[in-house]
Amino acid sequence: MKTPVKRPIGKTEYELLSSFRYALRHFLRFSEAAALELGLTAQQHQVLLAIKGFPHREEISVGELAERLQIRHHSAVGLADRLLAEGLLIRRPGHEDRRQVFLGLSAKGEEVLTRLSEVHREELRQIGPELMKLLGQLSS
């Protein structure tokens, strides 16, 4: 197998990487602020989105949540507990293994996530073309 030829990174590429990173951080800051307006942390917003966006199901296990967020199991439990206390999640034991816990969105959680997703969709419509342009330049 051939080792790929490494080419030096030039000033233009550093500028593109910097601009892309800046655009991503700008979006993340927007996202954090939008979540805070509704009384959530960015990570709590991620929990709601991870559950609703999980492929082919409306609920996920705590282990799956931890994997989606790339956090430890006990951290996922803590996040879920706080969202349960706020009435944003529902919890149920597994059918086959009652030790397993599944999480889904409550009606209130659905409402909050919908509001957040609408503003995020609009923000992405505005910044998406620039992100795509930068990504295209970086990958060429």
Q: Which domain holds residue 94?
A: 11-139
- Helix-then-strand count for the chain, H and E: 5, 3
At residue 81 the predicted structure's pLDDT band, cuts being 50, 70 and 90, is very high
User: Residue 72: what residue type?
Assistant: R
Q: What pLDDT score does 97 carry?
A: 79
Residue 39 maps to a domain? yes
| Model pLDDT for residues 40-69, shown as the tens digit of each residue | 999 999 999 999 999 999 999 999 999 999
- Our count of domains for the chain comes to 1
Taking only the tens place, the pLDDT of each residue in 117-130 is: 999 999 999 999 99
The model's pTM: 0.87
- Per-residue pLDDT of 9-41, as tens digits, reads 899 999 999 999 999 999 999 999 999 999 999
**Is residue 29 included in any domain, yes or no?**
yes
User: Is residue 6 pLDDT above 90, yes or no?
Assistant: no
| Distance in angstroms (rounded) separating the CA atoms of residues 75 and 38 | 22
So what's the pLDDT on residue 100?
A: 87
CATH value at residue 86: 1.10.10.10
